[in-house]
Amino acid sequence: MSGKLYLVPTPIGNLEDITFRAIRILKEVELILAEDTRTSGKLLKHFGIETPMQSYHMHNEHTKLDFFTEKLKSGTSIALISDAGTPAISDPGFLLVREAIKNNINVECLPGATAFIPALVVSGLPCNEFVFVGFLPQKKGRQTKLTELAQEKRTIILYESPHKIIKTLTRIVEFFGDERQLTVSREISKLYEETLRGTASELLNKISDNPIKGEIVVCIDGIK
């Protein structure tokens, strides 16, 4: 009899954002796969979760895929977590989910924390339709992607790191125009949570003068 794969969201900042159900599942499964066992170890200790844990991250997900799939096929119940947020959203998870489905293994994803939904909702930009891009391509394909997104009518959501946000905003001004409305949200659910609103050029100037830290979500208004 096959086991079951659970995708369990973890807090993106505030530990109170974890659900009762997530804690129960993490205690009940036989194995937890974590993006970083050191980071996740602190979370598990905080909630008194003693389930064995192994690493599963972007550098080993291909080599470990068959091993964990076999564990699921042999009846092991496994929970997959990332460092923060929902697994497979700009984090490892997709490959294991796809392989589990191919092998008729039951997959269940718990609802829970993810960064882009709060950022979208507080942006004040249209929420009825949106496109989530995640991180832009680093080099190859970046210009092509930005050219494509500049014509997108739906609200666009990007993830970005603090040391690349200036470069990304510069490219947004270049490809979208300096009057395109957008928001930059950082440290969602944490102590210094902040959302900056304005045109692309206004936020580029503001952040250039006052660099920001923390994980960043950029929401861009679609073309009118």
Q: Are strands 181-186 and 194-199 parallel, antiparallel or unpaired?
A: antiparallel
Whether the per-residue pLDDT at 56 is higher than 80: the answer is: yes
Tell the CATH superfamily of the 4-109 domain: Tetrapyrrole methylase, N-terminal domain (3.40.1010.10)
Spans of all domains in the chain: 4-109, 116-220
Full 3-state SS string of 140-191: CCHHHHHHHHCCCCCEEEEEECHHHHHHHHHHHHHHHCCCCEEEEEECCCCC
Whether residue 44 contacts residue 53, with contact meaning beta carbons closer than 8 Å, is answered with yes
Please give the Cα distance from 169 to 145 (Å, whole number). 14
> Model's pTM, two decimal places?
0.91
Superfamily of domain 116-220: Tetrapyrrole methylase, C-terminal domain (3.30.950.10)
Q: Which pLDDT tens digit goes with each residue over 138-195? A: 888 899 999 999 999 999 999 999 999 999 999 999 999 999 999 999 999 999 999 9
The mean pLDDT of 64-69, rounded to a whole number, is: 96
What would the mean pLDDT of 105-112 be, rounded to a whole number?
97
Mean pLDDT of 71-86: 96
Task: For 176, list phi and psi in degrees, rounded to 5.
Answer: -105, -15
